């Protein structure tokens, strides 16, 4: 009776106990070890190509674009000489590799926590991305964890020195914080998208998919032929991002959300040309794996590695040299060698027989052409595309086609490019003998991107080829061939 009374008077005890158990239960950190191995590989995809351009991007000898200049601050962090910048950048590469193999993981992650944001803030145009701050938090949480306790050089050395050592079980609160971080990142992304008018209409994804701003996108340009799919996928993305934090904890919702996440991030490559961001988030998804699942993945990948039996003296020597002095010496040697290699590269030609490369002035006519502002966009060029169909989904033509039957009502949609002025759009439908069959005009206000016409096809129209022309302010913009087929066909 007393126990019942106490539980009723303190109803929050069970909740606090469950929350404490959720944060501080002990597991072997297989999941965090997988993240420690995989995320540096994703980062190296972006870091290694920029090694050849450290002088231009991150040093006083180049053209850095510091983050703080946009906000009116001066010298938030120092920009170093080419030699120091190259040394620090090479140290960052070394630390990423050391983190991947699990050698001095904690100090490697602690240094990466500062170096990665540092280089990002110096090159706002290229290096600073939306995953830069996420990697900062990721390195912080991994540095506070025991991610190097398994599947690492440090763990191997500890086992060699103490054969009785067993695989440790540690509190998983860093893993829980990482899980929450990912969920809140998705919530923030959903909030941002919901405030972006062009997202739900598909316009933002439409024009992004047409460009190669990041990297080539194999499917992006093809998908713009079906913009209604972009609208549908936008709503699915918002729902998934909002629900992720609430459904990721228990099966089968956990597996469904993770599969959708992998699909989502894979599509950001195929549709938008993103590379590092999807690889990074696929790596950190390992924090949602159960202990047994993470161990199974690790053992599977370990089975793919070649099995080699090294002599006893080689393993003993490796144990003896994998020390702090050797770690620091290797990082220093790598930095010095990179400085010498960069000098040998001589991107500015300073060591050439004719001295540094001299910038040649532009020819006056070229400079005048670049600086002129008296040219205007041709009015007809403000018309981007023209699609025809009979079904609308999400404000777009669902199934574009050029062949119709007499008696159908054709939906024609003209897409414009912003910014544009108020425009008068007029279509003219002509038969094969150039006779006008139908004509209509509509005003396209400057805030609209799409203008939709309804074209009823009379039952009396003969089967054959027709031409549909759209004029912008009286100037022909786009012509499309339209076929009316016989109903009996």
- Write the pLDDT tens digit of every residue in 138-152: 999 999 999 999 999
Antiparallel, parallel or unpaired: β 464-472 and 475-485: antiparallel
Percent over 90 (pLDDT), the chain: 49
- What's the average model confidence in pLDDT over 332-347? 90
**Delimiting residues of CATH 2.60.40.1930 domain(s) in the chain:** 379-485
pLDDT band at 165 (very low <50, low <70, confident <90, very high): confident
The domain made up of 379-485 is a member of CATH 2.30.250.10: no
List pLDDT tens digits, range 355-385.
Answer: 778 888 889 889 888 888 877 778 878 888 8
Write out pLDDT tens, residues 274-314.
999 999 999 999 999 999 999 999 888 888 877 666 565 55
φ, ψ of residue 403 to 5 degrees: the values are -115, 130
Mean pLDDT of 102-127: 94
Cis peptide before 314 (omega within 30 of 0): no
Per DSSP, the three-state class of 385 is strand
* Distance separating alpha carbons of residues 234 and 202, to the nearest angstrom: 7
Q: Which helix (DSSP H) or strand (DSSP E) does residue 468 occupy?
A: strand 464-472
Strand residues in 205-299 grouped as ranges (E): none
- Average pLDDT score over residue span 119-145: 93
Helix (H, G, I), strand (E, B) or coil at 129: coil
Task: Return the C-alpha torsion angle 458, 460, 463, 469, nearest 10.
Answer: -40
* Residue 452 phi, psi (nearest 5): -115, 130
What is the spatial distance between Cα 60 and Cα 75, in angstroms, rounded to a whole number? 12
231 exposed, middle or buried (CB, 10 Å; 0-12, 13-18, 19+)? Answer: buried
pTM of the model: 0.86
Query: Is the pLDDT confidence value at 2 over 50?
Result: no
CA distance 136 to 118: 10
Cα 128 to chain centroid distance, Å, stands at 12
Q: Which run of H or of E encompasses 297?
A: helix 291-304
| Statement: residue 348 has pLDDT above 70 | yes
Amino acid 304: pLDDT: 80
Least confident of 26-35, 258-267, 433-442, 480-489: 480-489
Q: Is the pLDDT of residue 24 over 60?
A: yes
Alpha carbon distances (Å) from 11 to 5, 380, 489: 10, 70, 74
Cβ–Cβ under 8 Å, residues 22 and 176: yes
């Amino acid at each position: 009776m007393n126990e019942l009374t106490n539980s009723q008077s303190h109803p929050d005890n069970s909740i606090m106990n469950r929350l404490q158990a959720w944060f501080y239960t002990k597991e072997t950190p297989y999941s965090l070890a997988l993240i420690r191995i995989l995320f540096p590989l994703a980062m190296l995809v972006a870091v290694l190509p920029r090694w050849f351009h450290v002088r231009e991007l991150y040093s006083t000898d180049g053209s850095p674009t510091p983050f703080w200049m946009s906000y009116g601050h001066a010298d938030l962090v120092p920009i170093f000489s080419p030699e120091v910048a190259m040394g620090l950048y090479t140290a960052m590469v070394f630390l990423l590799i050391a983190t991947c193999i699990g050698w001095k993981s904690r100090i490697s992650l602690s240094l990466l926590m500062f170096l990665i944001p540092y280089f990002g803030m110096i090159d706002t145009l290229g290096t600073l991305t939306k995953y830069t701050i996420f990697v900062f938090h990721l390195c912080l949480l991994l540095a506070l964890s025991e991610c190097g306790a398994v599947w690492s050089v440090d763990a191997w050395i500890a086992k060699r020195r103490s054969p009785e050592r067993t695989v440790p079980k540690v509190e998983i609160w860093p893993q829980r914080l990482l899980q929450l971080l990912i969920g809140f990142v998705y919530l923030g992304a959903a909030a941002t998208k919901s405030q972006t008018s062009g997202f739900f209409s598909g316009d933002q994804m439409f024009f992004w998919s047409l460009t190669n701003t990041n990297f080539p996108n194999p499917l992006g340009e093809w998908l713009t032929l079906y913009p209604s799919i972009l609208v549908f996928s936008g709503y699915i993305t918002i729902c998934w991002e909002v629900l992720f934090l609430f459904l990721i904890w228990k099966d089968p919702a956990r597996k469904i959300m993770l599969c959708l996440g992998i699909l989502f991030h894979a599509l950001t490559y195929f549709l938008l040309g993103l590379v590092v961001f999807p690889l990074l988030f696929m790596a950190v998804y390992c924090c949602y794996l159960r202990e047994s699942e993470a161990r199974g993945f690790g053992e599977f990948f370990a089975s793919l590695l070649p099995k080699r039996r090294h002599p006893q003296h080689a393993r003993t020597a490796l144990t003896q040299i994998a020390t702090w002095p050797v770690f620091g010496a290797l990082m220093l040697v790598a930095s010095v060698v990179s400085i010498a290699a960069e000098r040998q590269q001589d991107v500015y030609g300073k060591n050439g027989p004719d001295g540094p490369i001299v910038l040649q002035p532009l020819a006056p006519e070229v400079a005048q052409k670049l600086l002129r502002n008296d040219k205007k966009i041709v009015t007809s060029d403000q018309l981007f595309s023209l699609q025809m169909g009979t079904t609308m989904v999400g404000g777009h033509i669902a199934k574009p086609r050029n062949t119709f039957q007499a008696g159908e009502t054709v939906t024609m949609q003209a897409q414009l490019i912003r910014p544009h002025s108020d425009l008068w759009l007029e279509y003219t439908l002509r038969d094969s003998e150039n006779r006008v069959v139908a004509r209509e005009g509509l005003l396209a206000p400057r805030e609209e991107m799409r203008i939709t016409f309804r074209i009823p096809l009379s039952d009396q129209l003969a089967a054959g080829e027709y031409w549909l022309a759209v004029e912008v302010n009286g100037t022909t913009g786009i012509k499309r061939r339209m076929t009316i087929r016989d109903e009996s066909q």
